[in-house]
């Protein structure tokens, strides 16, 4: 029968069920990701406002999940979109397919495509998770869905903080208990002296 395997599994469950969990009250309390975390993509611009993307489609070719669609077009003699001969007329990233590997960023010759540390990517529907060029070109900081009250640095260890606060509480409680014991013993000795 499978009794040894069941007992092994139950031993693992009981060993971990009473451990203190590191819980944050997300989204009010957040932990900043590490600087190398690969999150939401953005398309960058030159300081003069022209797009860095030249519509070369190398990012789409490097994507192993086929999540990027780029359609390049030629720049017209009038107002230009990018400093090169071409620009990205259509640029889409399907976040339902994206595996956040970063190969698209490495393939970009103009450093137009960047990955931020923003990890909140949600949408009301499947179509809402296909980000278009307008959503990817970000001229202002990315707006989060919910406000943040407190944000911890990436190396912050919440478990150590909880243990430290618990040990302080235990120390105060221990001193309080010792004081209560002294009061009880003093009261008991006072009663004993009064009875004799």
Asked whether residue 72 is assigned to any structural domain, the reply reads yes
pLDDT, tens digit, 9 for 90 and up, residues 158-175 = 667 767 777 776 666 655
Asked whether residue 39 is assigned to any structural domain, the reply reads yes
- Average pLDDT score over residue span 105-119: 92
CATH code for the domain of 108 = 3.30.70.3270
Distance from C-alpha of 41 to C-alpha of 95, rounded to nearest angstrom = 10
Q: Which of 13, 98, 101, 87 is nearest to 43 (CA)?
A: 87
Q: What integer pLDDT is reported at residue 179 of this predicted model? A: 55
Asked whether residue 49 is assigned to any structural domain, the reply reads yes
Say if pTM beats, i.e. exceeds, 0.75: no
Q: Which of 48, 57, 102 is nearest to 79 (CA)?
A: 48
Asked whether residue 13 is assigned to any structural domain, the reply reads no
Asked whether residue 195 is assigned to any structural domain, the reply reads no
Asked whether residue 60 is assigned to any structural domain, the reply reads yes
**Domain count of the chain?**
1
Q: Which domain holds residue 86?
A: 23-152
Poorest-confidence range of 22-31, 128-137, 187-196?
187-196
Q: What integer pLDDT is reported at residue 11 of this predicted model? A: 92
Asked whether residue 183 is assigned to any structural domain, the reply reads no
Q: Is the pLDDT reported for residue 136 higher than 50?
A: yes
Asked whether residue 196 is assigned to any structural domain, the reply reads no
């Amino acid at each position: 029968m499978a009794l040894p395997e069941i007992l092994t599994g139950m031993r693992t469950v009981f060993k971990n069920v009473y451990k203190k969990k590191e819980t944050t009250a997300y989204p009010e309390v957040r932990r900043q990701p590490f600087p190398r975390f690969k999150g939401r993509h953005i398309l960058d611009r030159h300081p003069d406002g022209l797009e860095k993307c030249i519509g070369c489609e190398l990012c789409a070719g490097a994507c192993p999940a086929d999540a990027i669609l780029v359609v390049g077009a030629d720049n017209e003699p009038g107002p230009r979109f990018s400093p090169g001969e071409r620009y990205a007329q259509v640029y889409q990233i399907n976040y339902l397919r994206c595996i956040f590997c970063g190969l698209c960023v490495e393939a970009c010759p103009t450093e137009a495509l960047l990955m931020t540390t923003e990890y909140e990517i949600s949408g009301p529907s499947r179509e809402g998770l296909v980000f278009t060029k307008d959503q990817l070109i970000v001229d202002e900081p990315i707006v989060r869905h919910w406000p943040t009250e407190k944000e911890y640095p990436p190396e912050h260890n919440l478990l150590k903080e909880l243990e430290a606060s618990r040990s302080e509480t235990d120390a105060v409680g221990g001193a309080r208990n010792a004081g209560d014991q002294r009061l009880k013993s003093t009261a008991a000795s006072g009663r004993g002296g009064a009875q004799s």
